[in-house]
Structure 1
Amino acid sequence: MTDDPNRRRGPVLIEIDTPEPQERRQPPQHQTREAEDQPNPADAPVIDEASPVLPRPRTMEMVTRLVGRPPSALTRLFINSGVALLTFLLSIAALDYINRLLDSYPVLGWIAVTLFALFTLAALGMAWREYRAWARFAKIDAIQRQAGAALESSDLDKARQVTDQLLSLYHRRPELDWNRKRLSDNRGDAFDAQTLLTMAETELMAQLDQEARREIEAASRTVAAATALIPLALADVAAALAANLRMIRRMAEIYGGRAGAVGGWRLARTVMTHLVATGAVAAGDDLIHTVAGGGVLAKVSRRFGEGVVNGALTARVGVAAMEVCRPLPFIAQPRPKVGNLVTRGLRGLFGESEKE
């Protein structure tokens, strides 16, 4: 070691071992074999999210089975023969009682005869009303078939006949006087079947469709509230059945038909048959997803989620009733959507105004 200040100092070189290239370094063979045997996380299957338990519309399923399933021939024979036998026995008993009353107390006997005659006239009147109501509904069905045939064949003469029948059907509806006058004045401007029937649909069916939509919304709201609030098992079924029958009868009244007690039940069966034929009665995932968030509603409240789905099924029944009772098919007017009807119905359930 020196302390000479004139000594020249150079750079210091430190040699470091150079690592081998990546290609040359290979792990031992036994380590490679162990790595291949171990599972790779990248090869693991994708974990699907657990689907929520969606509510089932048990109430509307029961209503559909009660109304839509037709009785067998043996059941019809049993019911008809039982009603005929009961009516016959009651009539014989009533006549025998009136006969003995006339012998003992003539004044009371003649009062009984008068009451029995009034009851008989009332029963015949109700039977005649049921017949006329079903005949009127058959007329609406015939108009609908003729309109479909006119559209399919583009026959202007058939379309004009359908228009004449529609004007005759609604000639006693004062709320449609202005619409009938516009259709009568402008029907000569149409030179093809589709234009004429579109004009008739716009003038006559648009206002009636709005009334029908309000009835469907009210029925959906009633069924949803009954399912969510009524704790009894069969009480909600009875409430839903009454709401659906009333809605179907109102559909017939709005579009020009009348349905009595027996006719209303037959009309309900016709609507349910239409639902089954078109496949719209299936309460699957498409219906639940229509009402936006059935799984979330089921998590919050099972009864409320089931009520919303029952309301959606009721809306489907209402749309089917519109298609059955409407004299014209949907041509230019939009077909009602279940989601919109249920949304507006539930909006009314929570107290929001229709304008909002």
Structure 2
Amino acid sequence: MSDPQNLRAGRRISTDELHQAVPQSMEAGKRIEQTQENSSSDGDQGVFNNSDALEQELEHTFKPNRTLLTVKKLLLFSLVVLVAAEAIYGVIEAITQSWLLGGLYILVLSLGLVALIRFLFSEYRALKSLSTREHMQSDAQRLLSSTQIGEAQQWLAPLLEQHNPDGVQEFKATIKAHHTDREVLELYQNTLLNTQDQQAKAIINAHATTSAMLVALSPMALLDMLAVLWRGVHLVEKLSQHYGIRLGYRSRITLYKLLLKQMVFAGAAELVSDLAATSMGAELLSKLSARAAQGLSAGVFTARLGYKAMELCRPLPKLANKPNLLQGSIEQIFKALLSRSK
């Protein structure tokens, strides 16, 4: 009889070690695959990082920060006191020298004071308009989840004055006594506000297409930046007026700073190609020339800026299907550039 121990030829293979080795190799493959996916997704998302950050800056333009630093207020107050004291001292000195010269000083100061009062009043109205729209959006967010009846019609009263009287009458006729606040706002969004949004979309598409054509036809990078600046400023101004919002001096300065930062976008050839390829695909991009691709980039930027401004100006806080709206604008810009290049 042979010894049973001699029958065990070779080394035993532990089944636990086999089970541990296979998942480790699979996990390594998964990690490599996830790394590749992350790297490709980061490449697409990196193109829009700048524009997303700039959208946040634009949001601060329409929603100004109410917290003022004490040092700034003290400095401003000291400056006002200094200017007033200097003006009074100058008037007294002028009167002691000549009544005619003193009268001229008083006339100039009076005109300057009137202009300052008008400016401050206009700025107050602009800030009040922005504040009112911000409060309306907050109230609308609350009413969209409300099951009560009656408050939505009071909220809509100032907005209905901006619409066509015939459309307002048709809208009021569709409101029933049993409609809740949420149903009334949804009805308003699907009728009157939808018409207003379509008009705003047409404004955005027109400005974006014009911006794209100007950049595509421009022979100089400086003209590219000026075109983007001009169309961007005019677009936001027109959208704010379309939704009944006044932009004051403070908001305009913030807006101009924002657009000056974004003008660099029009002259960056790398971002041009990446953004256009991400939006339209490499196959469609290959049909455009280098200048047309830059024009497409500038048009996409103008459209993104417009839709962000539109979202902030609307009385209802959320703009539904914004990616689809942007895609539609991109297709229109692409068709305009493609027809020009033929």
Query: What's the TM-score once normalised by structure 2's chain length?
Result: 0.63
Moved more, 178-187 or 90-99: 90-99
Q: Give the 5 Å matches for 1:1-356.
A: 64=54, 91-152=84-145, 154-157=146-149, 160-171=150-161, 173=162, 175-265=163-253, 288-289=276-277, 291-293=279-281, 297=285, 300-329=288-317, 335=322, 337-345=325-333
- Whose relative contact order is higher, 1 or 2, with alpha carbons under 8 Å and at least 6 apart? 1
Q: Deviations over 1:251-297 (max 9, x none)?
A: 222112111221345578999xxxxxxxxxxx799953464256764
In 2, are the aligned partners of 1:216 and 1:318 still within 8 Å (CA)?
A: yes
RMSD: 4.4
Structure 1 letter corresponding to 2:151? Q
**1:163–1:267 Cα change, 3 Å:** farther
Structure 1 letter corresponding to 2:137? Q
Q: Tell me how far 1:192 sits from its aligned partner.
A: 3.3
Moved more, 210-219 or 299-308: 299-308
Q: Which of these two proteins has the greater Rg computed from alpha carbons?
A: 1
**1:194–1:65 Cα change, 3 Å:** closer
In 1, are the aligned partners of 2:239 and 2:313 still within 8 Å (CA)?
A: yes
Q: Deviations over 1:172-208 (max 9, x none)?
A: x3x5222222233332255234431122123321221
Q: Deviations over 1:6-48 (max 9, x none)?
A: xxxxxxxxxxxxxxxxxxxxxxxxxxxxxxxxxxxxxxxxxxx
**1:294–1:121 Cα change, 3 Å:** farther
Q: For residues 226 and 152 of structure 2, what CA distance do their matches in structure 1 show?
A: 39
Q: Deviations over 1:209-247 (max 9, x none)?
A: 122112211321233234334454455334323422332
Q: Tell me how far 1:327 sits from its aligned partner.
A: 0.6
Q: For residues 126 and 298 of structure 1, what CA distance do their matches in structure 2 show?
A: 52
Q: Deviations over 1:90-142 (max 9, x none)?
A: 55554444333333332342233123222222222222222222222222222
Structure 2 letter corresponding to 1:123? L
**1:269–1:123 Cα change, 3 Å:** same
Q: For residues 324 and 65 of structure 1, what CA distance do their matches in structure 2 show?
A: 10
Specify the SS of the correspondent of 1:337.
helix
How many residues get paired?
277
Structure 2 runs not aligned, ≥5 long: 1-43, 61-68, 260-270
Q: Tell me how far 1:166 sits from its aligned partner.
A: 2.1
Structure 2 letter corresponding to 1:322? M
In 2, are the aligned partners of 1:220 and 1:311 still within 8 Å (CA)?
A: yes
Q: Which of the two has greater helix per residue?
A: 2
In 2, are the aligned partners of 1:251 and 1:321 still within 8 Å (CA)?
A: yes
Structure 1 letter corresponding to 2:239? M
Q: Tell me how far 1:320 sits from its aligned partner.
A: 1.5
Q: Which residue is equivalent to 1:6?
A: none
Structure 1 letter corresponding to 2:157? L
Q: For residues 77 and 228 of structure 1, what CA distance do their matches in structure 2 show?
A: 48
Q: For residues 168 and 138 of structure 2, what CA distance do their matches in structure 1 show?
A: 21
Specify the SS of the correspondent of 2:280.
coil
Q: Tell me how far 1:66 sits from its aligned partner.
A: 12
Q: For residues 232 and 277 of structure 2, what CA distance do their matches in structure 1 show?
A: 22
Q: For residues 232 and 193 of structure 1, what CA distance do their matches in structure 2 show?
A: 54
Q: Deviations over 1:321-344 (max 9, x none)?
A: 12111112458x765611212333
**1:300–1:188 Cα change, 3 Å:** closer
Percent of paired sites with the same residue:
23
Specify the SS of the correspondent of 1:156.
coil
Structure 1 letter corresponding to 2:140? A
